Amino acid sequence: MKLITTMRSLALGASALIASAGVLASDLVILHTNDTHSMIDPDASGRGGVLQRKAIIDSVRKAEKNVILVDAGDVVQGSLYFKFFGGDVEYPLMNMMDYDIQILGNHEFDNGLKEMADHYRTLKADRLSANYDFTGTPAEGIFKPYAIREADGRKIGFIGINIDPASIIAKSCYEGMDFLPVCETADRYASMLKNEEGCDLVVAVTHIGAVKENYKDTDYDLARNSKDIDIIIGGHSHTVIQPDNASKDYPSVVSNAAGRPVLVTQTGKYGRNLGCIKIDLDNLQNDTPADFDYELIAVTDRFAPSQLDSVMAGFITPYREQIDVINAKVIGRSDEMMDNNARVGAYPNWISDFAEDFGRNIADSLAASGALLPRPIIGMMNVGGIRHPMPQGDVTLGEILSTFPFANRMLLMELKGADLMETLDIAAVKGGEGVSRSVAVVTDDDSHMRRVLVDGEDVDPDAIYYVSTIDYLAGGNDDLIPLGRGRVIWRDEPEVSERILEYITRLTALGLPIAGDPRPRFVKEVTVK
């Protein structure tokens, strides 16, 4: 067998897979997902949804002798199901789909270590984490570094590898947990599985991403530094790694430290695809990972309602009915569709302008009481905190709550000018972040910050500025480490989504639409050579 060179699955989907299944009696099929993010129902285009996913999984299991189902983390966070029910929907559904291997994503920690531990304790799958040490925490004893599965006399080892939590997960949400280096830990366990346990195949299930973030290890770093890992099933970066992708950015096959191929996979996000790796166990000694059949099965509405799991559907129904009420309540209107994935543009500008206006109101009230001196106010919000696009036309309560699902609070902080410039340099190199109308970031040809203006004046490195933002960013997260050096002088109680709803309600009462300012706040100053 050779690596699939066309995206046949997107054209033929599960039916093609099922039609070809069973050709080899000793095939091993590894199905995998990542970053499903509480997307229980299909999206607006009809992609995804757990009922259609289970129907595909069940079809493959009926057709194939050896099937292992794997998830690479971030099962939760991103929809109203998690916002209101805190995991009580997602984790039971993972059990209903009979996952065999599960690892943690960073969003599993969003409600704290104890709540994560309570949910993971209920999972039937092998729960893996080789590089998180939970000794002395509520999660102690729940996870193991690896698992070995057998198929027709062959041993397949699975290792769980997780992301460095620093600047990704709020410190309070993983307190007491120790992080072990990605590549060193993975290769140590891979060597043990190959050379001591006699595994014929070693699979690293990871939540570290395919995209480089703040010098953290990626799946490609892991693949190229390993000697004994054969397959990487990844998550975190929401990357769709195409089976035939030979590009330098996201290739599906790379060489390891010994010059042997490693298959690198990731399905994207929201359960829109189901990854499928098919391995000929009879020819395993002659084949390499580059010879394995790998495809992405598009999760669509291919199965009729009568073919879907009625027990699972019945479990979801009472939760969906509550969410439908929230989704039906119109709270405002938007002049345009605003892209949540754009690192600069109307949406990050709009939410950052909200933060600036909110901060000015707080500063004015504090100044009136004699607590503060007038200083420039800067609004900053992270693009990663905007989870869905703003639709054009009617905007519902559900859309806002699902777009801003995190339990963050607004705050006002003092930040030294030098730290502000360093923060905005990091943001510029990342391609931008949300900054308010008072800010202009001028960058050089390499996207590094050249100068920062606030209210039209160059930032004074020694001066103190007010920054209105959320507590997550004020902790130096999302790689904005210098922002964590500031001093918090005021902290809000309601969640930020409540404040945004109040803001939209005021706009609506005034007859005003939601309208973002598209003018760039990160501007490249091109050097003429």
CATH number at residue 39: 3.60.21.10
pLDDT above 60: residue 397 = yes
Mean pLDDT of 32-39: 98
Please state, in angstroms and as integers, the Cα–Cα distance from residue 197 to each residue in 77, 158, 280, following that order.
37, 12, 21
Same-domain check for residues 265 and 333? no
Asked if residue 466 belongs to a domain, the reply is: yes
- What DSSP character marks residue 240? B
Asked if residue 187 belongs to a domain, the reply is: yes
Same-domain check for residues 188 and 97? yes
Asked if residue 174 belongs to a domain, the reply is: yes
Longest dimension (CA), the chain: 79
pLDDT above 60: residue 289 = yes
Same-domain check for residues 307 and 371? no
Write the pLDDT tens digit of every residue in 100-147: 999 999 999 999 999 999 999 999 999 999 999 999 999 999 999 999
Among 296, 321, 346, residue at a domain's last position: 321
Same-domain check for residues 350 and 279? no
Asked if residue 249 belongs to a domain, the reply is: yes
Q: What is the pLDDT of residue 503?
A: 95
**Confidence band for 225, pLDDT divided at 50, 70 and 90:** very high
Residue 474 contacts residue 483 (beta carbons within 8 Å):
yes
Same-domain check for residues 389 and 472? yes
Write the pLDDT tens digit of every residue in 454-490: 999 999 999 999 999 999 999 999 989 999 999 999 9
The label of the residue with tokens 């109680």 reads: 493
Asked if residue 3 belongs to a domain, the reply is: no
The torsion of the CA quartet 368, 371, 377, 380, rounded to 10 degrees, works out to: -120
Same-domain check for residues 252 and 341? no
Range of the domain at 239: 8-321
pLDDT above 60: residue 5 = no
Same-domain check for residues 300 and 412? no
Integer Cα distance of 20 and 31 in angstroms? 16
Between β-strands 101-103 and 126-128, what pairing exists: parallel, antiparallel or unpaired?
parallel
For 372-517, strand residue ranges (E) read: 377-381, 393-396, 410-416, 434-435, 439-443, 449-454, 457-458, 464-470, 487-491
Q: What is the pLDDT of residue 16?
A: 52
pLDDT above 50: residue 8 = no
- The mean pLDDT of the chain is 91
Integer Cα distance of 209 and 217 in angstroms? 8
Same-domain check for residues 303 and 334? no
| 5-19, 70-84, 263-277: the lowest-pLDDT one | 5-19
Structure tokens given for 338: 């605003």
Report for 189-203, 368-382, 511-525: range of highest mean pLDDT: 189-203
pTM for the structure as a whole: 0.88
Asked if residue 395 belongs to a domain, the reply is: yes
Same-domain check for residues 310 and 337? no
Please give the tally of structural domains in the chain: 2
Task: Say which residue, 286 or 265, is predicted with more confidence.
Answer: 265
pLDDT above 60: residue 297 = yes
Q: What is the pLDDT of residue 356?
A: 96
pLDDT above 60: residue 20 = no
Mean pLDDT of 367-386: 86
User: What's 481's domain CATH number?
Assistant: 3.90.780.10
Q: What is the pLDDT of residue 446?
A: 85
Task: Say which residue, 431 or 25, is predicted with more confidence.
Answer: 431
Mean pLDDT of 204-209: 98
Q: What is the pLDDT of residue 262?
A: 96
Among 276, 301, 321, residue at a domain's last position: 321
Q: Kindly report the backbone phi and psi dihedral angles of residue 459, in degrees, each rounded to the nearest multiple of 5, phi listed first.
A: -65, 135
Integer Cα distance of 155 and 189 in angstroms? 15
Asked if residue 1 belongs to a domain, the reply is: no
Among 272, 287, 321, residue at a domain's last position: 321
Q: What is the pLDDT of residue 74?
A: 98
Polymer length in residues for the chain: 529
Asked if residue 41 belongs to a domain, the reply is: yes
Q: Closest by alpha carbon to 158, among 134, 193, 209?
A: 193
Mean pLDDT of 409-421: 96
Residue 233 contacts residue 204 (beta carbons within 8 Å):
yes
Exposure letters 11-29 (e unless 16+ CB within 10 A, then b): ebbbeebbeebeebebbbb
pLDDT above 90: residue 159 = yes
Q: What is the pLDDT of residue 4?
A: 37
Same-domain check for residues 134 and 244? yes
Residue 94 contacts residue 125 (beta carbons within 8 Å):
yes
Same-domain check for residues 293 and 438? no
Same-domain check for residues 33 and 145? yes
**Confidence band for 213, pLDDT divided at 50, 70 and 90:** confident
Q: Kindly report the backbone phi and psi dihedral angles of residue 101, in degrees, each rounded to the nearest multiple of 5, phi listed first.
A: -130, 130
Write the pLDDT tens digit of every residue in 314-371: 999 999 999 999 999 999 999 999 999 899 999 999 999 999 999 999 998 888 887 7
Write the pLDDT tens digit of every residue in 497-513: 999 999 999 999 999 99
